[in-house]
Amino acid sequence: MKTVLIAALVAGLPLQAADLSRAQALYERTEYRQALQLLSTKTSKDPVELLLAGKSLFGVGEFKKAVDTLNRAASLAPSNSEIQHWLGKSYGRLAETSSFLTAPGHAANCRRAFEKAVALDAKNVLAMNDLFEYYLEAPGFLGGGVDKAEALARRIGELDPAERHYALAKLAAKRKDPKTVESQLRHAAQAAPQQVGRLIDLAKFLARQGRLKESDSTFQQAERLAPGAPVLLFEKASTLIETNRDPAEARRLLELYLRAPLTPEEPSAAEARKLLERLSGA
């Protein structure tokens, strides 16, 4: 804390602002627990601080605490779309980890938060994507529905054509139409040629179809686009494991991934360790 105080004095900032800035930097490096040590989650009335705390709690798997913290943030900033989006994400994970008695209520809260996030900001594509996934996967009695997902895919397309193609691929997968899935994933890659994730999506699909040479070739194309990208290490390792190939290479890739500087947008270190455990148990 002494270092933080000196930095605050030099920068001419209040100590609280310096702590918040440092916590944000820790969050971006996925050092969630360290970020939480700097945040006043119990006493804060700052929605920005509470949002960061909620996202950090989500990052360490404390979904109930994340929900409580983000609900406090939402009460302080009721028109903030990002807070509602993260509240929905937290309710969603809470539903996944709850008993069959409480899960439906959490799922309904998840949907309501996503819908509110989209209503508050019609350009929040991240919230739209998560709401789309909810509509696609949730049963009708919890507010899901393919018709709702289709309607939302059209709205997504107005903001992000590549994301619309990806949504249409997900709809096709739901309908067990692999030909359309492949076509839409290829359209997504063409619409966003600099986004390595589009090629990864296609490579993973081809692997699931048993077209391993084409999958490997697509991964190689992705590597040329973004050499050394951590997400490539993880997804290639995951695909090797799912297709029961080259466990030694999968282990090498995962170990490299765990040594890479990760961000909150990438698969967590915990997910990588779970894959390593699968390899050890094979």
Q: What is the DSSP letter of 83?
A: H
Contact between residue 160 and residue 186 where contact means Cβ atoms under 8 Å apart: no
User: Of 200, 215, 205, which is closest to residue 245 (Cα–Cα)?
Assistant: 215
Amino acid identity at 181: V
What is the model's pTM?
0.89
pLDDT for residue 11: 41
Amino acid identity at 111: R
What is the per-residue pLDDT across 99-127, written as a single tens digit (0 to 9) for each?
A: 999 999 999 999 999 999 999 999 999 99
What is the per-residue pLDDT across 129-147, written as a single tens digit (0 to 9) for each?
A: 999 999 999 999 999 999 9
- Sequence-ordered list of residues with C-beta below 8 angstroms from that of 52, at least 6 positions apart, any chain: 20, 23, 24, 27, 35, 39
Mean pLDDT is lowest, of 38-42, 83-87, 207-211, 269-273, for 38-42
- Written as one string, the DSSP assignment of 43-78 is T---HHHHHHHHHHHHHTT-HHHHHHHHHHHHHH-T
pLDDT for residue 65: 97
